[in-house]
Amino acid sequence: MQPDADEAVCDLAAQIKQPNTQICLVFFSEEYDPQQLGQALKKHLPGPVIGCTTAGQLSEVGFQRGGISGASLASDELTATPYLIHPLSSQAEQVAGIAKDIQKRLSLNTLPAFGFLLVDGLSMKEEQLISALYMALGNVPIVGGSAGDSLKFKQTFVYYDGELLHDAAVLTLFLTTLPFQVFKHQHFLPSSTRLVVTEAIPDKRLVKEINGEPAAEIYAQLIGKTVDQLNSAVFSRHPLMLRIGNDYYVRAISNIEADCGLKFFCAIDTGLVLTIGQGDCAFESLSRDLQRVRQDLGVPAIIIGCDCILRRLEMEAQGIDNNIGKLLAKNKVVGFSTYGEQINSVHVNQTFTGVAITG
């Protein structure tokens, strides 16, 4: 929690130092000077090092506000290789090159693999990136999160080789014989209420009309509210959900536009059929899913977690954030509060995505 970047990284480095470190994960407040922090991470932590700015961290204290947190992974049965994607405007060519290198690595051995993606949370390019990466890598599962800046929505950074970069992403390929499981958790279930997006501007993540009516008006009506009662707390309790295959994914609303349009945190398009999500008990639902991971995998040595900031805000409003934080810490979750989450080919919101690894 030291306010000085160099002192904070030194403090963290002393706590996570161990022999045979294969990779360090770091998640940090945007309040640190980017240049000083980049230099400190390069100087004090053994490489490779991956990380990003956050909307809060997940650490051994539960939900951590401010400061820096992280972990080191050390094992003869694990290797990690980060790939920088920068700028995101030319991601297609870069993804092709990364995929070629990864396929070569996979062909040289038969080790199971997964990808961990960190991406600029204000780039609005997560959908194209995660879709392109997943298609290019074939059967490699991918999990990840979008960097945050404590709800300032000004600038988010990912770390790569001594620099904090925006308009960038880092995909890390993990090869390991250790058992692992990529998973997602959400505490919402689809309701029977259906909505059809009848007018949208996809590149702005903006829905103008639902069911042929102004989007905010029809949404408010369906959840028993008036437009002037809509706010972030209401949106977090009544997200929209999209069915993809046999599963449902959350499409969270960020705000109302002046013309009663609804701005979303992830991709939305004309013709999509959505449903309003119904909340389950957040604590019990998370506890069940973490128990399921332990049953499938054994007790994890670490869970690298990407948890939507909207989830934490909802938990704070309900007064259950301390209990949820303790549950995450008990299950050895290390990660951050995000501006969006990735799971395989999909970018989502109001979701926890993670990878559990046993030691």
**CA-based nearest residue to 37, from 213, 157, 201:** 157
Tens digit of pLDDT per residue, the chain (359 long)?
999 999 999 999 999 999 999 999 999 999 999 999 999 999 999 989 999 999 999 999 999 999 999 999 999 999 999 999 999 999 999 999 999 999 999 998 889 999 999 999 999 999 999 999 999 998 899 999 999 999 999 999 999 999 999 999 999 999 999 999 999 999 999 999 999 999 999 989 999 999 999 999 999 999 999 999 998 888 988 999 999 988 999 999 989 998 999 999 998 999 999 999 988 899 999 999 999 999 999 999 999 999 999 999 999 989 999 999 999 999 999 999 999 999 999 999 999 999 999 98
pLDDT value of position 166: 96
* 106, 195 contact by CB (below 8 A): no
Listed residue (157, 154, 159) closest to 51, CA to CA? 159
CA distances (Å), 12 to each of 28, 41, 260, 302, in order?
Answer: 11, 10, 46, 17
At 37, list the tokens: 């922090």
CA trace torsion 211, 216, 219, 220 (10° rounding): -140
Residue among 121, 115, 61, 75 nearest 334 (CA): 61
Cα distance between residue 330 and residue 60, in whole Å? 8
DSSP string, 276-305: EEEEPPHHHHHHHHHHHHHHHH-S-SEEEE
Helix (H, G, I), strand (E, B) or coil at 161: coil
Q: Tokens 């977690």 identify what position?
A: 305
Q: How far apart are the first and last CA of the chain?
A: 28
Assess contact for 123 and 88: CB atoms under 8 A.
yes
pLDDT of 112: 96
Measured from the Cβ of residue 315, the count of other Cβ atoms closer than 10 Å reads 22
SS3 at position 142: strand
